Amino acid sequence: MKTLIKNGTVVNATGSATADVLIDGETIAAVLAPGSTLLGFDVEANVDRVIDARGKYVIPGGIDAHTHMQMPFGGTEASDTFETGTRAAAWGGTTSIVDFVVQYAGENVLEQYRKWHEKASGQCAIDYGFHQILSDVQDSSLTAMDELVAEGVSSFKLFMAYKGVFLSDDGQIVKAMQRAASNGSMIMMHAENGSVIDLLVQQAVAAGNTGPLYHGLTRPWQAEEEATHRAIMLANLTGAPLYVVHVSAKQAVDQIAQARDRGQNVFGETCPQYLYLSLEDNLGARSDEWGGFEGAKWVCSTPLRASAEGHQHHMWQSLATNDIQMVSTDHCPFCMKGQKDMGLADFSKIPNGIGSVEHRMDLLYQGVVDGKISLERWVEVCSTTPARMFGMHGTKGVLQPGADGDVVVYDPNGHTSIGVGPGKTHHMNMDYSAYEGFEIDGHVDTVISRGKVVIDRGEYLGAKGDGRFIKRGLSQYLI
């Protein structure tokens, strides 16, 4: 199958130009001046399908490098399966995800890794890779790290919070970092001071402060800044590269920026929720449906931050200046009924997570419309940098000959109403939308995943199992 996308504005991280994109089979064959011939051949006359993208942007498919499909967590399981979550991702212009294999204390890393392959294999609508979570860092986990790098899993997430669930102590963190420094892999860090948070949670609940707002209030920015600083110091000690996930506090951003200015290999990821939502959402004052408990919809960790403190503005600015390098969703959806409501009497029992794998490309495009980032930076933070950060450069995140035919035709004159219900976009397996009522001045028209059209003007044309495992290499950013 040969597809020509003609007359669009092709946007790569490095620049934009009016061009035609020729996809042959699963791969981009050429990016051509509009109407060009190839060695005398009339390209348009020799393809199977022509998509006219005049007046539209043609961009590399989005890469969401932080998702948790059907993750067992918080006494339940994230509500999107690999099937439903990746289909929703496709609807929103994301053509690759990197999800997390979970290893809880006492479990064997490689056994867990194999289990996650069984869960995802044959289920996904788009391509998928894995990071590996390490909790206790056993000797066998260290040898597993080497084996996983060879398997295409070149990044490992550690947690400084969630004692008894995920938390690794500083010694365990250092051991994993030493291994990463020697095998070239990336350490990803959930940077929050878990002991401090556990104490504050205990005190709040004992004082009768049990509503969702207290989730945010018991995870203060100081706990994020301190852990971010500590992680940076431990990475410095060991020489491991460090990627700090879901950064929400401006003080943590500054720790990352300062480390980078000192020449350390440290990177920061933020998420749409930290660019658009705030602690005030945890008050649950948007509707009467759940009373104050509606705030549970926005319980995630790191938490949303108080709007008066200026975190959102700082985050947009840091994204524009490259103090923060990437935007992923940390897609970890739970329904209000039967999942989030486990915490009706006690906020600490609310499963932590927000789902937005479908909306990241739109929400970040709105940042372009609002003048917060450029068009090229949109592509860079949502696609190109994720590919380079996590060993997919050359094949993903760029429109160039030889790259996978992962392409989105995005209409800047279209419109997207986010939310649940008629006329709104919502394909995730959640009974609410964290972005209900958000209006986007743009629209995902067509999504092509390795040469196959999977979304076309409001129709899903893909199939379960279209997605293939991405065997990743090492990060391109390692020095």
Q: Which two tokens stand for residue 208?
A: 């009768």
Q: Which does 333 bind (CB under 5 to 8 A by kind): ligand URP, Zn ion, none?
A: none
Cα dihedral: 132, 133, 135, 136 (round 10): 0
Cis peptide preceding 302, ω within 30 of 0: yes
Segment holding 217, helix H or strand E: helix 213-217
Q: Are strands 27-32 and 15-24 parallel, antiparallel or unpaired?
A: antiparallel
Q: With CB under 6 A, what is the number of residues at the site for ligand URP?
A: 9
| Minimum CB–partner distance for residue 191 and Zn ion (Å) | 9
- Residues 308-367 contacting Zn ion, CB under 5 A: 330
Q: Which does 352 bind (CB under 5 to 8 A by kind): Zn ion, ligand URP, none?
A: ligand URP
Residue 418's φ and ψ, nearest 5 degrees, are -85, 140
Nearest to 131 by CA among 193, 69, 61: 69
| Minimum CB–partner distance for residue 451 and Zn ion (Å) | 30
Decide if residue 330 touches ligand URP (CB under 6 A). yes
CA distances in angstroms from 264 to 40, 167, 232, listed in the order given: 51, 24, 9
| Minimum CB–partner distance for residue 119 and ligand URP (Å) | 17
Q: Which two tokens stand for residue 466?
A: 């279209």
Residue 137 three-state SS: coil
| Minimum CB–partner distance for residue 376 and ligand URP (Å) | 28
Q: Which residues of 452-479 are buried (b: 16+ CB within 10 A; e: fewer)?
A: bbbbeeeeeebeeebbbbbebbbbebee
Contact code string over 38-77 relative to ligand URP, x by CB under 6 A: ------------------------------x---------
| Minimum CB–partner distance for residue 330 and ligand URP (Å) | 5
Contact code string over 187-216 relative to Zn ion, x by CB under 5 A: ---x--------------------------
Q: Which of 144, 266, 300, 326 binds ligand URP (CB under 6 A)?
A: 300
Residue 236, Cβ density class (10 Å: 0-12 exposed, 13-18 middle, ≥19 buried): middle
Q: Which does 353 bind (CB under 5 to 8 A by kind): ligand URP, Zn ion, none?
A: ligand URP
For residues 92 and 43, give the distance between their C-alpha atoms in angstroms, rounded to a whole number. 29
Amino acid residing at 70:
Q
For residues 455 and 362, give the distance between their C-alpha atoms in angstroms, rounded to a whole number. 15
Q: Which does 359 bind (CB under 5 to 8 A by kind): Zn ion, ligand URP, none?
A: none
Which of the 8 DSSP states describes residue 350? S
Q: Which does 305 bind (CB under 5 to 8 A by kind): ligand URP, Zn ion, none?
A: none
Decide if residue 272 touches ligand URP (CB under 6 A). no
3-class secondary structure for 402-465? Answer: CCECCEEEEECCCCEEECCCCCCECCCCCCCCCCCCCEECCEEEEEEECCEEEEECCEECCCCC
Which of the 8 DSSP states describes residue 288? S
Please say whether the beta carbons of 405 and 28 come within 8 A: yes
Q: Cβ neighbours of residue 315 under 8 Å, at least 6 residues apart?
A: 247, 248, 250, 253, 270, 274, 275, 324
| Minimum CB–partner distance for residue 71 and Zn ion (Å) | 8
Which residue, 300 or 447, has its beta carbon nearer to ligand URP? 300
Decide if residue 333 touches ligand URP (CB under 6 A). no
Q: Which of 53, 177, 332, 403 binds ligand URP (CB under 6 A)?
A: 332
Q: Which does 62 bind (CB under 5 to 8 A by kind): ligand URP, Zn ion, none?
A: none
Which residue, 273 or 475, has its beta carbon nearer to Zn ion? 273
Q: Which does 300 bind (CB under 5 to 8 A by kind): ligand URP, Zn ion, none?
A: ligand URP
Contact code string over 225-254 relative to ligand URP, x by CB under 6 A: ---------------------x--------
Q: What is the DSSP string of 225-242?
A: HHHHHHHHHHHHHHT--E
Which residue, 7 or 218, has its beta carbon nearer to Zn ion? 218
Decide if residue 179 touches ligand URP (CB under 6 A). no
Q: Which of 353, 367, 397, 442 binds ligand URP (CB under 6 A)?
A: 353
Q: Which of 56, 131, 175, 190 binds ligand URP (CB under 6 A)?
A: 190
Binding site for ligand URP (CB under 6 A): 68, 190, 246, 300-301, 330, 332, 352-353
The contact set with Zn ion (CB under 5 A) reads: 190, 330
